[in-house]
């Protein structure tokens, strides 16, 4: 089975490829000749995932799944949420985003947060969604070299390491994306 993962984020592709069964050939946007920016104009994480999966199916004809992820911080009323990638501006710079978030939380005692991923699958002209959540907290300063995005400042509940300090296999087993991908895989195998 061939399935397009609608992302240009090589880190996401690497993480998901580790989880997808070997009998599913994962295609990137580059593999199908998609070099344009896929619209992400939804006002929810789920809306963006659906929009991206539908775009690839309609424009390129491939069965496709897409994800959208947001970091939701309790004391900031769920921000940055759907705007996580562009929290500090359209340049989508992870360090700028983390610095803005750390600055917004500098006087906060409550640093609880969660990552939420929604995967939308458009396959055989049917749409399905799968959600994964990982609860944790935002630490005071960046730690770790692995991962991407907000990983150096997010410490999952029950762990002493940030996502950026974890081995990828541990991160994949507990992360929001890992949980959503496991639901996707269970559906594909059913």
Check which CATH number belongs to the domain holding 10 and give it: 3.90.950.10
Cβ pair 151, 164 in contact under 8 A: yes
Residue 180's pLDDT is 95
- Strand pairing partners for 131? 118
pLDDT of the chain, 190 residues: tens digit per residue: 889 999 877 777 777 777 777 788 888 899 999 999 898 898 999 999 999 999 999 999 999 999 999 999 999 999 999 999 999 988 889 999 999 999 999 999 999 999 999 999 999 989 999 999 999 999 999 999 998 899 999 999 999 999 999 998 899 899 999 899 999 988 987 7
Residue 92's pLDDT is 86
Residue 34's pLDDT is 95
Residue 154's domain spans which residues? 2-188
Tokens of 179: 């949980």
Residue 148's pLDDT is 87
Cβ pair 74, 110 in contact under 8 A: yes
Residue 31 falls in the annotated catalytic set:
no
Task: Provide CB contacts within 8 A for 148, sequence distance 6+.
Answer: 9, 11, 94
Tokens of 124: 């055989």
Residue 12's pLDDT is 76
Task: Provide CB contacts within 8 A for 56, sequence distance 6+.
Answer: 4, 6, 29, 32, 34, 38, 62, 64, 66, 122
pTM equals: 0.90
Catalytic residue, from 31, 68, 90, 96: name it: 68
Q: Total structural domains in the chain?
A: 1
């Amino acid at each position: 089975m061939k399935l397009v993962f609608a992302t240009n984020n090589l880190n996401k592709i690497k993480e998901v490829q580790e989880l997808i069964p070997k009998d599913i050939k994962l295609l990137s946007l580059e593999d199908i000749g998609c070099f344009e920016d896929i619209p992400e104009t939804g006002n929810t994480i789920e809306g963006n995932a659906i929009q991206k999966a539908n775009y690839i199916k309609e424009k390129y004809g491939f069965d496709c799944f897409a994800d959208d992820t947001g970091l939701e911080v309790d004391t900031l009323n769920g921000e940055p949420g759907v705007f996580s990638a562009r929290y500090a501006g359209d340049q989508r710079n992870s360090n700028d985003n983390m610095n803005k978030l750390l600055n917004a939380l500098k006087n906060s005692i409550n640093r609880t947060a969660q990552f939420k991923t929604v995967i939308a699958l458009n396959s055989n002209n049917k749409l399905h969604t799968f959600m994964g959540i990982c609860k944790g907290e935002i630490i005071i300063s960046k730690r770790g070299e692995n991962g991407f995005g907000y990983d150096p400042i997010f410490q999952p509940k029950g762990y002493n390491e940030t996502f950026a300090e974890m081995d990828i296999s541990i991160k994949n087993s507990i992360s929001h994306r890992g949980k959503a991908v496991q639901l996707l895989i269970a559906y594909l195998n059913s």
